[in-house]
Amino acid sequence: MIDNPVENILTISVLFLMVWVALAISLNIRDARKRSSRPNRYNRTHYGSDSGFDSTDYEAAPQVAVPPAVSPTYVNATSWRSRSITLLRDNKFLVAAEVIFVCAFLFIMPYLKFVGLTSALLVVMGLLWLSGNNWSKLGMARPSSWRRTVVIGLSAGLFFTFLKVFIGLIIIHLVHTLPNLQVFSSVYHNIVFFIGVLISSWTAAAFAEEMIFRGYLMNRLADLFGHNFLGWTIALVVQAVVFASIHSYQGLAGMLSAGSGGILLGLLYLSTKRNLWNCVIAHGLNDTIAFFVTFVMP
C-alpha cells in the first residue's frame, strides 16, 4: 500500500467504486437473462435516439429509426437501471456530481501509484452504462468514410505537431523552464523501450485519453452547461485543464503544453461533428513523432 493515508483512502474508494460498478453490471445481466426467458408482455424503454428518453409500449408502438452505426439500448421500463438512466440524464445535480467526481479522480490520478488511466476508463465506462450511453454516440461509431477520417486525422496530427513547436517556444519564454521529460529519457537509442512507448501512445494515450477527455468529459460537461456555443466552450476549456493536470509530472511547462494540445484536439472533435476517430489518429501521430525525435536525439 501507499505510505500516505490520504492516498490509501482515495485508492480504496476508487477500487470500491469499480467493484460496485462490476457488481451492478453482473446483476443487471442476470436480470436481463431472466426477463429474456419470459414472454415479452411488459413495456420497455428505448434509449436509441438523441432526443432523450421516451417510454413506449414495445409491442404496440412502431420501432424508432436510429442510425445504423448506433445500436439502440432496450431496458425494462420499471428496472432500477431505467430509473438511473432517467436521473443521470435529467437531474442536473447528479450530472454535476458525476462530473466533479470524475474530474477529481483524474486530478489525483498522477499521485496514485497503481491506479492508472485504465482504471479511469473503466470508471467512465461504468458511468456511461448507468446513464444509458455508449461510445458510438460519443464519436466512436464507424465513420462513413475511413479514408477521409484517416486523412483528416493524419493531417491534423502533422499540423498540431508543428503548431505545438511554436506554442512550446512561447510557453518556455513565459515560464522560463523546459517541460520535464526525464521519464522518457530511456527512449534514446533504446529500440525496445521505443516500441513499448509507441504501443502505449496508441492505446493508453491515443485511445484512452481521447475517449475519456474529448469523448466522455466534453459531452458530459455539455449536458451540464448546455449543448450551445457557451456550453461547448466551457466543456472545451474545462477538459483541457483536467487534461493538463494529468501531465503534472512534466512540470508547469509540460502542463501548459498538454493543455494547449487538449484545446487543439477538442477543436478538432467539434469541427468534425464529434468524430472521435480523427482525434485518436491525430493524437497518436503527434506522440509518435515526439517519441521518434526523442529516440533519435537525447
Q: Using one digit for the tens of pLDDT, what is the confidence trace for 74-127?
A: 555 556 777 788 888 878 899 999 999 999 989 888 777 656 788 888 999 999
Grouping H, G, I as helix, E, B as strand and the rest as coil, residue 44 is strand
Residue pointed to by grid coordinates 435516439? 49
Q: What is the pLDDT of residue 108?
A: 85
Query: Residue 220 has what pLDDT?
Result: 95
Same domain for 119 and 189, yes or no, is no
Q: Are residues 100 and 165 in the same domain?
A: no
Residue 144 shares a structural domain with residue 253? yes
Residue 233 structural domain: 136-296
Do 63 and 173 fall into the same domain? no
* pLDDT (0 to 100) of residue 295: 82
Residue that terminates a domain, selected from 114, 130, 146:
130
Cα–Cα distance list, 143 to 72, 74, 153, 259 (Å): 18, 24, 12, 27
In a shared domain, residues 172 and 267: yes
Taking phi first (over 0 means left), then psi (-120 to 50 degrees means alpha), and beta for anything else, what does residue 267 get? alpha
Q: Among 96, 130, 164, where does a domain finish?
A: 130
Query: Could you give the number of structural domains in the chain?
Result: 2
Verify that 168 and 76 share a domain, yes or no. Answer: no
CA distance 121 to 215: 11
Comparing 120 with 267, the larger pLDDT belongs to 267
The per-residue pLDDT for range 176-209, each reduced to its tens digit, is 999 988 888 888 888 888 898 899 889 888 999 9
Of 78, 109, 130, the residue at which a domain comes to its end is 130
pLDDT of 154 > 90? The answer is yes
Angle CA(13)–CA(125)–CA(251) in degrees, nearest 5? Answer: 65
Q: From CA 61, how far away is CA 40, in angstroms rounded?
A: 14
Q: How sure is the predictor about 218, in pLDDT bands with cuts at 50, 70 and 90?
A: very high
The amino acid at residue 167 is I
149 & 41 share domain = no
23 with 95, same domain? yes
Q: What's residue 281's pLDDT? A: 97
Under a CB-based contact definition with an 8 Å cutoff, are residues 269 and 278 in contact? yes
Q: Are residues 150 and 227 in the same domain?
A: yes
For the sheet with 44-46, list strands across it. 54-56, 44-46, 74-76
Q: Model-level pTM?
A: 0.73
Can you name the residues that pair with 75 across neighbouring β-strands? 45
pLDDT digits (tens, 9 = 90+) for 33-58: 555 555 544 344 444 444 443 444 43
Same domain, 141 and 126: no
Work out the end-to-end distance of the chain between its first and last CA atoms, rounded to an integer number of angstroms: 35
Whether residues 121 and 141 share a domain: the answer is no
Judgement on whether residues 95 and 14 belong to the same structural domain of the protein:
yes
